[in-house]
Amino acid sequence: MDYLANAKTQLLLPNVSSWLVSGLCVCIALVLHILSRRRKLLVRLPGPPSESHFKEIVGTDGLGFQEHVFSAYGPTVKLDGAWGEEFLFTLDPTATHSVLVKDKTKFGRAEGSTLMMRSVFGGGLLGLKGEEHRVHRKLLNPVFTMKYLREHANFHGYRESGVKNELDKAGTSSKELDVFPWATVAALELIGEAGLGYSFNSFSGERNEYNEAAKSVTQMFSRLTPIIKILPYIYRIGTSSFRRWVMQHIPSRIVQQLLLAVNIQNQMAGEVLQARQALLSSGVDLSSEAGRGRDIMTLLMKANEAEGSEFHIDHQEMIGHMNVFIFAGHETTSTAVTRILEVLANHPRIQIQLREELRQYFEEHTNDTHHDGLLELPFLDGVVREVLRLHGPVSLISRVCEEDTTIPLQYPIDTPSGKVTSIPVKKGTRVIMSVAISNRYDRIWGERSHEFWPERWIGHKIEDVTQPGAHLPGVYSSM
């Protein structure tokens, strides 16, 4: 069934009454939002002149603005959000460790973001909080281990011919090649097989509606920040069916396009899930199927059916997990791969050195290339870590304080009332951590903090690479 063609016929502007009712609901939500968000910090901190800074943080020159703020006002500052909100903006490693690791139960994702994830994707880890999140994460923990990655490390063999054929077509000419579409296709295939037990057939050139819907959702999601802010207040109005009606009639073309794309994605995900369940119930050998019976969704289905299992994930939650795996995985992976290739193209010496290391490895392991062997290549490891340090797919992490607490600092702040070594924060305070600038901060990484230098990682632990006392939350957590 052509869901995309069918969906396009449904994309009609709401009638006048729909606009009025949904507009009224949005206005009520905005008023509630304004009244409840006038949160001030308990301590006077340095920061730029009062205005809404959120657009500047995430705008096209967001990194430039962040570097300016931290350079001018210090590693922990006060910034202003919309409608009088003040929030904490920091790159302090001790503060980051406190929020994300040590006291993580006191800080959660913003309610609006969680509700948007649940509304758009139907569930998944990014749409869950508290005990629900803990239960689902416990079920999924086995697939976030090195053992699971080893089992799927040879999936590239299924699809490598697709990328190779495209590169062969380009020949040896000096023309520029756009590798991002290929990286996106490869990442989507890997996530489809390892995560869903499904092949998008991306290299075949055939049109795949699930593929197109998934990419559309990813592209449109970033344009919904204003809706995310008021979503918690819309969810407090009326019944669930009424709220769903309001969302369907919000007078925004991007919202309506997103809802249609999500509907297509959910329908296709449901078909994939149903087909996988039928295969599992039939008892056939899944080793020749996509995912080889070791994909995430098949493992979840088996856990659901296990006798005496204390966990159960329903059909809609399964679809939510499928959608979130695609959303969270394929764009970040393809962006990282493309960035690595770009950096290598701009650093020919490093490219030659890495190629030589890989050439030697594959000559010595012609028939037994394996995951652990690649991880033991020191220069490859250094290149990957260094690119992720300087160009990580995630530049900001945001959390909201869920109970009154205190955030310790590694770098004290000078304020009008004296030196501050910790910051008291009350419930509802937003804390935004700049991963990108923290990864370039000279007080953490030394004089060569802005330099692409893979050798810094070779033969060293994280505490050797960073400056004395610069305690980061973990080896890869800064990335």
Ramachandran area for residue 293 (φ above 0: left; ψ -120 to 50: alpha; else beta): left
Question: Could you read off the pLDDT of 414-427 as tens digits, one per residue?
Answer: 888 889 999 999 99
Task: Judge if 117 and 149 occupy the same domain.
Answer: no
pLDDT at 401 over 90: yes
CA angle centred on 192, ends 191 and 198, rounded to 5°: 160
Whether residues 261 and 187 share a domain: the answer is yes
**Which of residues 332, 351, 382 is at a domain's end?**
332
Is the model's pLDDT at 11 over the cut of 70?
no
Per-residue pLDDT tens digits for 111-161 = 777 777 777 777 777 777 777 777 777 777 776 677 766 666 654 554 455
pLDDT at 7 over 50: no
Same domain, 35 and 91: yes
Query: Is residue 110 in some structural domain?
Result: yes
Evaluate whether residue 476 is within a structural domain: no
> Does the pLDDT value for residue 387 go beyond 80?
yes
Calpha distance 215→339 (Å, rounded): 19
Residue 71 has pLDDT above 80, yes or no: yes
| Within a domain: 362 | no
Max mean pLDDT range (156-160, 301-305, 351-355, 392-396)? 351-355
Same domain, 139 and 126: no
* Structural domain of 199: 135-332
In a domain, 382, yes or no: no
Q: Which residue has the tokens 């062969």?
A: 168
Query: Residue 342: what pLDDT?
Result: 93
**Which has the minimum average pLDDT: 38-42, 111-115, 316-320, 463-467?**
38-42
For 452, residues 6+ apart whose C-beta sits below 8 A from its C-beta are 343, 347, 350, 386, 387, 390
- CA–CA gap between residue 432 and residue 129 (Å, rounded): 18
pLDDT at 219 over 90: no
Quick check: is 212 in a domain? yes
pLDDT of 316 over the 60 cut: yes
Tell me which residue of 390, 441, 396, 2 sits closest to 208, measured CA to CA. Answer: 2
Residues 209 and 322 in one domain: yes
In CATH, what number is assigned to the domain containing residue 259? 1.10.630.10
**Domain shared by 114 and 180, yes or no:** no
* Domain's final residue, options 332, 350, 383: 332
**What is the model's pLDDT at position 404?**
94
Instruction: List, for residues 18-55, the tens digit of each pLDDT value.
Output: 555 556 555 655 555 554 555 678 888 898 887 767 67
Within-domain flag for 251: yes
Give the mean model confidence (pLDDT) for residues 459-476.
72
Whether residues 208 and 328 share a domain: the answer is yes
Total number of domains constituting the chain? 2
Q: How many helices (H) and strands (E) does the chain have?
A: 22, 7
217 and 98 belong to one structural domain: no
Please indicate, yes or no, whether residues 157 and 297 belong to a single structural domain of this protein: yes
417 domain residue, yes or no? yes
Q: Could you tell me if 257 and 48 are in contact, meaning their C-beta atoms sit under 8 angstroms apart?
A: no
Residues 305 and 180 in one domain: yes
Mean pLDDT of the residues in the chain: 77
pLDDT of residue 86: 87
| C-alpha span between 470 and 359 (Å, rounded) | 36
Residue 416: predicted pLDDT: 82
119 shares its domain with 256: no
User: Quick check: is 478 in a domain?
Assistant: no
Q: 460 falls in which pLDDT band (50, 70, 90)?
A: confident
The pLDDT score that the predictor gives to residue 158 is: 47
| Percent of the chain residues topping a pLDDT of 90 | 25
Highest mean pLDDT among 51-65, 244-258, 337-351, 414-428: 337-351
Residues 281 and 139 in one domain: yes
- Which of 282, 300, 332 terminates a domain? The answer is 332
Lowest mean pLDDT among 205-209, 250-254, 344-348: 205-209
Percent of the chain topping pLDDT 70? 71
Global pTM reads 0.79
Q: Give, for 117, the enclosing helix (H) or strand (E).
A: helix 111-121
